[in-house]
Amino acid sequence: MSALPHQYKVTVAGKPDNKLLAQANHLPDLQVAAPVGFGGPGDQWSPEELLMAALANCLILSFRAITKASKFDWVSIECESNGTLDQVDHKIQFTQVTTKAKLFIASADDMEKAKKLLHKAEDVCFISNSLSCTSHFESDVVVVSE
């Protein structure tokens, strides 16, 4: 990892037709629109979904880095983030986020260490740490047959 602080720049452009174009250097363009709940078409990523995707991705990438440093072997992981958007004091904001991680491992002997590393990943996830709403984390570790 390079020294902090890191800077990230995204440029978004739009016209009155409700679709936006998000661009960042060296990345494919991403079309974004309001979600259905705000009158959007429902066929593009929305800022709300992108935030939940950022949270789930950050948790998995944090887990990957932690397990690499710990030399912990695992098979696969799935992560789902669900956010509740509500009105508080005349402002619309996320009031609660629940993230559920499901980790697949090869040996039951690794169950406790797997749970510990999952919770450590949730602890260091900087997207989660940047949110001001209530955040819940649930994890499930599943042993897969070889």
User: Do 78 and 122 fall within a single domain?
Assistant: yes
User: Do 37 and 53 fall within a single domain?
Assistant: no
Residue 80: the pLDDT is 97
Query: What is the band of 19 on the pLDDT scale with cuts at 50, 70, 90?
Result: confident
User: Do 35 and 51 fall within a single domain?
Assistant: no
| Averaged pLDDT for residues 67-82 | 98
Domains held by the chain: number:
2
User: Do 76 and 26 fall within a single domain?
Assistant: no
| Averaged pLDDT for residues 109-131 | 97
User: Do 34 and 70 fall within a single domain?
Assistant: no
For 121-145, the pLDDT digits (tens) are: 999 999 999 999 999 999 999 999 7
3-state secondary structure of 49: helix
Examine the pLDDT at 27 and tell me if it is beyond 70.
yes
Examine the pLDDT at 146 and tell me if it is beyond 70.
no
User: Do 56 and 118 fall within a single domain?
Assistant: yes
User: Do 8 and 31 fall within a single domain?
Assistant: yes
Note down the domain range covering 12.
1-45
Residue 57: the pLDDT is 97
